[in-house]
Amino acid sequence: MNIGMALSKAEKILRNAESMTPALDAGVILCFVLGCGRAYLLSHHERELGSDEERKFFELVAKRAAGTPIQHITGYKEFMSLDFRVNPHVLIPRPETEILTEAVLEYAKRRISYCASGKHMQILDLGTGSGCIAISLAHYLARYVDNFRNNHGIAAPAPGIPMPVKAVLSQQPQDVAFSITASDISAEALEVAKQNAVANDVADKITFVLSNLFENLQNVVFDIIVSNPPYVPSREIQNLQVEVKDHEPLVALDGGEDGLYYYRKIIGKSPRHLNENGLLALEAGYNQAAVIAQMMEGQGFKGIEIIKDLAGIDRVVLGTWIP
């Protein structure tokens, strides 16, 4: 059987299984089996599959048809143009969460630009899961900080320079730095996140903490707290797609009776863990953003902002803590 025939057969199998993207799924699986890119499939339709390749391909197609997420078949998911290992212990990163990550990234860049001198920015990713938010922030902020230093900084003071001069030099933009804490209630999820941090070369910029929300983060304050908490109402879990409800961790999905349980906890406790003018950034489920914004306002947060996703749904809520 050649590549073109295999793809056609697999697409039919997946369509009958009610896959929303049968052709795409078939292509991704075959690329995974062959270790090639999409362009190769398009230009080699007549290439015959080996018996082992064909067997493995249709075994994985059957798994996909039975509801296994495509990301669990390949083991990876792209997020913010970075690759993340995923498995059943972590929520598969969603495109909507890129909206949240980009909003926090832009805020952090502005804060670095306006408050550069001697500033060490502390960021908390609460409920990190695969680490996609924390690792993406670490990756892109590291680039930004390096560029900022190169464009605005000066060389570090040489030995022997008088202390008053050295003190002035020490407040130049080369002192700009950041660190990220990533917490999760799941030890298995943290292990995945640690592996992703190593794979993306940011392990030295992130501290991983096993914690139920702020439980093991007592007396620690941050400039930014970001979270994509579980927000699916408990009664709606059973209505989710099979690939979600049967293959992703319930602890990362179930947001309690009304889906807002963790928002109440996070919004209520965040003020104790935020510096003045600190940012709280939360992803919201469908029809939740307005209620979350009201919660934040009621807790004393200022400058509440709601950001829509690409589908026009209110997806991200931002608020600034001003005591």
Over range 157-163, report the average pLDDT.
37
Over range 315-320, report the average pLDDT.
98
pLDDT at 204 over 90: yes
pLDDT at 290 over 80: yes
Task: Give the chain's mean pLDDT.
Answer: 90
Query: Are 258 and 280 a contacting pair, CB within 8 Å?
Result: no
Structural fold of domain 88-321: Rossmann fold (3.40.50)
Percent of the chain clearing pLDDT 70 (strictly above): 91
Hey, which bits of the chain come out as E strands?
76-79, 82-85, 120-126, 177-184, 206-210, 222-227, 274-283, 301-308, 314-321
pLDDT at 116 over 60: no
Domain 3-66: which CATH class? Answer: mainly alpha
pLDDT at 168 over 50: no
Q: Where are the domains of the chain?
A: 3-66, 88-321
Over range 267-281, report the average pLDDT.
96
pLDDT number for residue 153:
52
- Read off the pLDDT of residues 53-70 as tens digits, 9 standing for 90 and up: 999 999 999 999 999 999
Confidence of residue 176 (pLDDT cuts 50, 70, 90): low
Paired strand residues for 141: none
Over range 225-249, report the average pLDDT.
95
- Say yes or no: do domains 3-66 and 88-321 share a fold: no
Confidence of residue 148 (pLDDT cuts 50, 70, 90): confident
Looking at per-residue confidence, does 290 or 156 come out higher?
Answer: 290
pLDDT number for residue 115:
62
Q: ∠169-170-174 over CA atoms, to 5°?
A: 95
Confidence of residue 323 (pLDDT cuts 50, 70, 90): confident
Q: ∠48-54-60 over CA atoms, to 5°?
A: 140
pLDDT number for residue 175:
57
